[in-house]
Amino acid sequence: MTEKIYTTKKNGLAVLFLTILVLIASIAGIVFGGICMENDEFALGVPLLVCGIVIFVLGWIPMAGLKVLKPQEALVLTLFGDYKGTIREAGFYFVNPFCSAVNPAAATKLAQSGDGANAAHVNATAAANAQQAAEAASKKISLKAMTLNNGRQKINDCLGNPVEIGIAVIWKVTDTAKAVFNVDNYKEYLSLQCDSALRNIVRIYPYDVANDVDTTGDGQADEGSLRGSAEVVAERIKQEIQTKVADAGLEIIEARITYLAYAPEIASVMLQRQQASAIIDARKMIVDGAVGMVEMALERLNEKQLVDLDEERKAAMVSNLLVVLCGNHDAQPIVNSGSLY
């Protein structure tokens, strides 16, 4: 199903005025016919009365064909089950009164950005719900860029560690015919595909950089991770969703990771692991610096020939310097007034 533009002019205002004039004329005919019948002029009164009643009853039908569209709105029209076209331009239109608007997702509500924890978010959600209720009554399709927040999901990364991740997806409808007729409910379809794409991509990456992990599919280990490659992960999620919703006439503008953390059951263990890794890295740096300083001290003493140290004395000096430089606490000096032996 391909979208086609409904060919009609913006003549809704003219039809509205004409309909009002016809209804006023029918009321006048009913009143004048009643007056004629009271004066026993049945030959004139009966036709006026009957015509006035028929026109007044049927004169409201054109009102059903009046459609008002605001900017960034569309209306998909069908006539007895046949797709006639889509109105996309803002204006006041008159269409076939028997055409009906179709939008199976009009009453569907999607979670917006934010979790509604504070009053501002609650008010925004209430306003969004009110707007969606109005759209449900009118069956109009919004062409604006909208935000879908699927909330937090618990997914295992490529190492099997459970992580909680949430994404926000900015999307819009580009083909109204595909959105209405190719899928049952394009909003629910989008939400389901976001969940599936998120799980497919997250399972490729580790939470943090890990050894011997290939995240690009080229057969070589790399440094890709959920925490360190957020932009790359978000772009892959966007592309994954786009391939799945293209048949529904939707365009994914952007996808962003809004929340990322280890699952609560392993968060404390992973924190200890990160702390241990940081301590080891710090110790390595301290030892490397201490060895360099000891080496420099021995070279300077040898160059200036201040002290003649044999191998045993050098070993004792290296031991003392390493203890001082690598210790967690300040060294307590001991003055030796005698010989080293």
**pLDDT for 238:** 94
Those residues with Cβ within 8 angstroms of residue 48's Cβ, 6 or more apart along the chain or in another chain: 29, 30, 32, 33, 36
**pLDDT for 234:** 92
**pLDDT for 123:** 46
**pLDDT for 337:** 55
CA dihedral defined by 298, 302, 307, 312, rounded to 10 degrees? Answer: 60
**Residue of 250, 245, 88, 99 whose CA lies nearest to 175:** 250
Neighbours of 313 (CB within 10 A): 13
Packed helices 311-326 and 264-304: angle between N→C axes, nearest 10 degrees: 140
Name residues of the chain where pLDDT drops below 50.
113-125, 135-136
CATH superfamily of 119-262: Band 7 domain (3.30.479.30)
Instruction: Look at the block and give the residue holding tokens 């009957």.
Output: 50
- Indicate the DSSP class of residue 139: T
**pLDDT for 18:** 92
The amino acid at 45: G
Residue 179 CB burial class (10 angstroms; 0-12, 13-18, ≥19): buried
| Contact yes or no for 112/128 (Cβ under 8 A) | yes
**pLDDT for 332:** 64
| Dist. CA 179–CA 186, nearest whole Å | 6
At 305, is the secondary structure helix, strand, or coil?
Answer: coil
For the chain, what are the domain ranges? 12-101, 119-262, 269-326
The whole-model pTM stands at 0.70
**pLDDT for 108:** 82
The amino acid at 252: I
